[in-house]
Amino acid sequence: MQPVDFTTLTATCAELRTDWLPARLEQVYQSDRHTIALALRTLSQRGWLTLSWHPQAARLCMGDPPPRVPDTFTFSQQLRHQLGSLALVAIAPIAPWERVIDLQFARRPGEAALWHLYVEIMGNYSNVILTTQDNAIVTAAHQVSAQQSRVRPIQTGQPYEFPPALTDSMPTLTESQERWQERLSLVPGALRRNLIKCYRGLSSALVLSLIQRAGLDPEQSTETLTAVDWQQLFQGWQDWLNALEQEQFQPGWRSPEGYTVLGWDMARPEKTVQTLLHRYYTDALNQQEFSQLRHQISQKLSNLLKKLYVKANDFRSRLQQSDHADQYREQADLLMAYLHEWQPGMKQITLSDFVTEQPVQISLDPEKNAVQNAQAFYKRHQKLKRSRLALEPLLAEVLSEIHYLEQIEVAIAQFDQYHTPEDLVSLAEIREELIQQSYMEDPDQRYRNTGVETTNFVRDRTPNGFEVLIGRNNRQNDQLTFRIAGDYDLWFHTQEIPGSHVLLRLEPGAVADAIDLQFTADLAAYYSRARQGDQAPVVYTEPKLVYKPRGAKPGMVIYKQERVLWGKPGQVRDRLEKS
């Protein structure tokens, strides 16, 4: 993940000063333990300023409104109490070439600042700190004790100290090429390393871009550079410093990934630095959270299913033993009928079957007489019969649980990679469902059911233009089947195979052709456990003929009056690969 460097921070602050000063602070909201959002209102617009001290994605930029869930963090409550209704009057660095920004708040524009909110964009040491006008710390996003840092503790009530001053040389436009070249080549070494080592305000991404712009190799030794190489490199250096001094930036996306605010190696431009940073870090963090969450859920499902498979096999084994219950009763009957043939100390006896008259060999306990052996067989017969009555509902319950978890496993399989924020939302809904069903723990109580229905279904169109909606998880499956589906729609699902609910939307009077039905059946097969197969049976019926049994888990339904088509998931795979 590309960190916010000095150049990017300068660019975003320049835009913020132009568009958002002065501004009234209306609200403070903390969405997670690394991010707060400040609601700002100017005479012409309203927006949310994101402040993040995330170790990999610390940033300062305008972003989206926060989610509509309760804010339970203490830090945001303290900021809300102290800064509420004040005006943001200044956004300024604390010193040249420092990545610490001072957000100053006053009662109204033109008055002295009453509060300072310092935003430190410094990688793992990033922080947001609120101080009084006398620089006494009131609260901090991350408190640092004296045991954690002897150099710079950050604790409530103590004076705020700026980070240790940088010792590297400051880049200036007035420095000549000869002096600049002499400084970089004084100790021969890799060009990339020497640039970062000799001057402050440079990041790895900026240095790489600067060197590539000059057509040089980052690992090339300074001893091998020609006069032309030095001239091209110095020209890029001057362009960078001019952009900083004049605050003229060109935000855009680099290929294959990353961004630039200088317009160098830009694959496509972006309107503003704010939009650029917000989109980049939102997607990067979503991608990171998506991967972690998918791994967490997949591991949990795998462990749960392994245990359930073992339990189901154990129940089946014990049921197979109960199949021999009648055999023990028949052996007891034979013993009781032929008591006169028993002799003391017998370990087995062979008697003729009542019906077939075939010899039946019966194992005996030599310490018991014939009647006692028969009683033991009768008892075993009764025990096995009671065992079957107890095991059958237990096995049915385990199989139902397996089917439910396999259904979720199919939903997880749809999210093999992160593409859009909707993918993360749908995955989070699966996690929330598993928490509600007591399969996963939620120690922080942060993933409660908010009751908000999502509509980010997978959408497609049949050859005749009819809309097809596909559930991404069990919550969406239930919503599609029991809330969205109309009287004229058709409901599709793979037959006895875990998969998504699929809805073919039809207007009143419209009739789906065979090509539309087959297209929808192919989608139902693709979004199921049969995705990698050649074909799978798919049932379809009217939504009013689909029912949820009382007490059934999310996504579990029964249906009737269904018709069957053979869905071909390969057709969908080929179409998606071509698109």
- Domain co-membership, 184 together with 102: no
The verdict on 482 and 387 lying in the same domain is no
* CATH code: domain of residue 79: 2.30.310.10
The answer to whether the CB of 40 falls within 8 A of the CB of 48 is yes
What is the distance between the alpha carbons of residues 180 and 195, in angstroms, rounded to a whole number? Answer: 10
Same domain for 120 and 221? no
Specify if 160 maps to a domain: no
Strands (E), 353-416: 359-363
Which residue ranges in the chain fall short of pLDDT 70?
A: 323, 443-454
Does 313 fall in a domain? no
Long-range contacts of 501-505 (CB under 8 A, 24+ apart): 501/470, 501/471, 501/476, 501/477, 501/555, 501/557, 502/468, 502/469, 502/470, 502/471, 502/527, 503/468, 503/469, 503/470, 503/543, 504/462, 504/466, 504/467, 504/468, 504/540, 505/466, 505/467, 505/468, 505/469
Q: Could you tell me if residue 407 is inside a domain?
A: no
Q: In this structure, how many other beta carbons lie within 10 angstroms of the beta carbon of residue 339?
A: 11
Question: Does residue 159 belong to any structural domain of this protein?
Answer: no
What pLDDT sits at residue 280?
95
Can you tell me the distance from the alpha carbon of 424 to that of 284, in angstroms, rounded to the nearest whole number? 12
Same domain, 109 and 19: yes
pLDDT at site 447: 47
- Tell me: do 394 and 475 sit in the same domain: no
- On whether the CB atoms of residues 236 and 210 are closer than 8 A, the answer is yes
Q: Which of 123, 140, 157 is the last residue of a domain?
A: 140
Pair (502, 557) in one structural domain: yes
pLDDT tens track for 165-204: 888 889 999 999 999 999 998 889 999 999 999 999 999 9
CA distance 50 to 66: 10
- H-helix or E-strand spanning residue 349: strand 348-352
The reported pLDDT for the residue numbered 352 is: 85
Residue 562 has a pLDDT of 93
- 159, 395, 504 from 383: Cα distances, Å: 78, 18, 52
Which tokens belong to 52? 């993040």
**If DSSP codes are grouped into helix, strand and coil, which group holds residue 485?**
coil
CATH number at residue 264: 1.10.8
How far is the C-alpha of 494 from the C-alpha of 562, rounded, in Å? 11
Say yes or no: 108 and 10 in one domain.
yes
Question: Residue 186 has which token pair?
Answer: 């004084």
Residue 63 maps to a domain? yes
Question: What's the number of domains the chain is made of?
Answer: 4
Q: Which residues of 96-105 are buried (b: 16+ CB within 10 A; e: fewer)?
A: ebbbbbbbbb
Residue 395 and residue 464 in one domain:
no
Domain hosting 469: range is 458-578
Statement to judge: residues 11 and 132 lie in one domain: yes
On whether residue 414 sits in a domain, the answer given is no
- Residue 170 in domain: no
Angle between helical axes of 6-20 and 227-246 (0-180°, round to 10): 30
Report strand pairing: 252-254 vs 137-140.
Answer: unpaired
- The DSSP bridge partners found for residue 362 are 349
User: For 524-544, how does the pLDDT look when each residue is reduced to its tens digit (9 = 90+)?
Assistant: 999 999 998 899 999 999 999
Say if residue 245 is in the same domain as residue 189: yes
Tokens of residue 32, six digits:
């997670």
CB-based contact 252:268 (threshold 8 Å): yes
**Does residue 181 share a domain with residue 101?**
no
Joined tokens for residue 381: 């017969």
User: Is the pTM value of this prediction over 0.85?
Assistant: no
- What single-letter DSSP state applies at residue 352? E
Same domain? 190 vs 265: yes
Q: Is residue 222 part of a domain?
A: yes
